[in-house]
């Protein structure tokens, strides 16, 4: 049951926000899946990635569950992004462009620079946004 790459980050932020709002109470993957409206297997995979990054602690068994490993004010959205989204090469041409064409000869290097700038801008916003900011915004939305 693979999840689309572009959904993993959103669901991981949902999971982390949910855990942050539980004040240290361990939550099961089944319970989290009910909030996310997905299969518990998907939640377990994301929890595993978050745990590997040191953001979540999980315990197994009937009394098990997951909690944040750090306070939400110490977890940036960039931390979550890096935990669940594997870095891939930018999506460029499937076939090498024609090197005899003035556009084809240079388009790849130009696009790589644009994509690198876009990635840096995204990373800047995500690193400046803390999980506690998201939880605060969620509480404000609920009023």
Q: Which residues are CB-contacts of 21 (< 8 A; sequence separation ≥ 6)? A: 135, 138
Q: What is the pLDDT of residue 88?
A: 65
Domains of the chain as residue ranges with CATH: 5-141 (1.10.10.10)
Rounded Cα–Cα distance for residues 15 and 32 (Å): 7
Residue-wise pLDDT tens digits, 2-47: 555 568 999 999 999 999 999 899 999 999 999 999 999 999 999 9
Buried b (16+ CB within 10 A) or exposed e, 43-75: bbbbbbbbeebebbbbeeeeeebbbbbeebeeb
Rounded Cα–Cα distance for residues 77 and 123 (Å): 9
Helices 5-21 and 131-141: crossing angle in degrees, nearest 10, is: 80
* Residue 83 pLDDT exceeds 70: yes
Handedness of CA 68, 36, 43, 26 (dihedral sign): positive
Q: Which residues are CB-contacts of 59 (< 8 A; sequence separation ≥ 6)? A: 26, 65, 66
Helix or strand or coil: residue 52? helix
The band of 102, judged by pLDDT with boundaries at 50, 70 and 90, is confident
Q: What is the pLDDT of residue 4?
A: 56
Q: What is the pLDDT of residue 64?
A: 85
The mean-pLDDT minimum among 72-76, 113-117, 130-134 falls in: 113-117
Rounded Cα–Cα distance for residues 13 and 80 (Å): 7
């Amino acid at each position: 049951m693979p999840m689309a790459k572009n959904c993993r980050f959103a669901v991981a932020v949902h999971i982390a926000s949910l855990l942050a709002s539980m004040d240290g109470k361990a939550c099961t993957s089944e319970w989290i899946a009910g909030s996310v409206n997905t299969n518990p297997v998907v939640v377990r995979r994301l929890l595993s990635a978050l745990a590997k990054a040191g953001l979540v602690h999980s315990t197994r068994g009937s009394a098990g569950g997951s909690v944040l490993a750090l306070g939400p004010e110490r977890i940036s959205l960039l931390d979550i992004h890096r935990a669940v989204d594997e870095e891939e090469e930018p999506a460029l041409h499937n076939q090498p462009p024609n090197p005899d064409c003035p556009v084809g000869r240079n388009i790849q290097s130009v696009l790589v620079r644009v994509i690198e700038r876009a990635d840096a801008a995204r990373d800047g916003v995500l690193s400046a946004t803390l999980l506690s900011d998201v939880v605060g915004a969620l509480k404000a939305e609920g009023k």
